[in-house]
């Protein structure tokens, strides 16, 4: 089924929406898991690492947790696929270097990049809102196989600068930062809980349901649905 929606900006979820969850879980997660010990010991003095470690200790209520204990916590969160901000910050630091070295190449579903180029060419602004950190998002989109996609993007949001993805307040914060009216923002995500929160903030929503994705069977609740990005036509104000 194809959808035609009025919006001035599209906000993209990554995992399960632009890209395969399997790639994130089978490639990115092991890559970070194998490098946490070195990050926590050799780079503990870097402000970003120190801040994230302090947050891990705060969340777990273990103020004296040493590097080994923090690593155990991070790995347990990875096993649960818990979208904890401190975990995402530390993963982002590791992945950024993996992408820069060419160890990692991001995955995008085939329909995604052509649609992003079309929407951008039509004057639709594009943003990202993902649990993956802004550092990870920047590395992800700039290392896209067909060339750097960052010039297409007007802004990047994560759980650090916008807040949790299932809370309407996060979507209000993003709307206000972009200056786009909530009713003109279209959020694409694989998770009904995120779509519900966006709609509660007055946004338009489309559930992206791709066969094989973990949330495919659960459906998108009562949100409009699309199986691929090329099934979505975005029409700007006055268009």
Ligand X SMILES: CSCCC(=O)C(=O)COP(=O)(O)O
Q: Which residues make up the interface to ligand X (CB under 6 A)?
A: 13-16, 24, 28, 83, 88, 130-132, 136-137, 140, 165
* CB of residue 13 to Mg ion, shortest distance in Å: 4
* C-alpha–C-alpha distance, residues 169 and 237, integer Å: 25
The neighbouring-strand residues paired with 116 are none
* C-alpha–C-alpha distance, residues 78 and 87, integer Å: 8
- In three-state secondary structure terms, 229 is helix
* CB-based closest residue to ligand X: 132
* CB of residue 165 to Mg ion, shortest distance in Å: 8
Asked whether position 213 contacts Mg ion by CB under 5 A, the answer is no
Tokens 């160890």 -> residue: 103
User: 7, 9, 12, 13: which one contacts Mg ion (CB under 5 A)?
Assistant: 13
* CB of residue 167 to ligand X, shortest distance in Å: 13
DSSP class per residue in 84-135: -HHHHHHHHHHHHHHHHHTS------TTHHHHHHHHHHTT-EEEEE-SS-HH
* CB of residue 215 to Mg ion, shortest distance in Å: 8
Asked whether position 158 contacts Mg ion by CB under 5 A, the answer is no
Of residues 8 and 13, the one with the C-beta less far from ligand X: 13
Interface ranges with Mg ion (CB under 5 A): 13, 15-16, 190
């Amino acid at each position: 089924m194809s959808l035609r929606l009025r919006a001035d900006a599209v906000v993209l979820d990554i995992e399960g929406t632009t890209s395969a969850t399997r790639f994130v879980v089978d490639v990115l997660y092991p890559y970070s898991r194998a490098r946490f010990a070195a990050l926590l010991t050799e780079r503990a003095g870097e402000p970003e690492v120190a801040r994230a470690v302090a947050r891990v200790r705060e969340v777990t209520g273990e103020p004296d947790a040493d590097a080994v204990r923090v690593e155990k916590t991070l790995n347990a969160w990875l096993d649960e696929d818990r979208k904890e901000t401190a975990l995402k910050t530390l993963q982002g630091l590791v992945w950024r270097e993996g992408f820069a070295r060419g160890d990692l190449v991001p995955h995008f579903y085939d329909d995604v990049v052509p649609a992003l180029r079309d929407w951008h060419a039509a004057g639709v602004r594009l943003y990202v809102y993902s649990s993956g950190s802004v550092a990870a998002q920047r590395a992800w989109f700039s290392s896209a196989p067909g060339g750097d996609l960052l010039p297409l993007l007007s802004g990047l949001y994560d759980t650090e600068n916008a807040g949790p993805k299932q809370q309407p307040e996060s979507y209000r914060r993003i709307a206000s930062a972009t200056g786009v009216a909530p009713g003109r923002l279209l959020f694409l995500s694989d998770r009904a809980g995120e779509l519900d929160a966006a709609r509660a903030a007055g946004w338009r929503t489309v559930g992206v349901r791709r066969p094989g994705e973990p949330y495919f069977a659960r459906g998108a609740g009562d949100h409009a649905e699309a199986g691929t990005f090329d099934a979505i036509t975005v029409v700007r104000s006055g268009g």
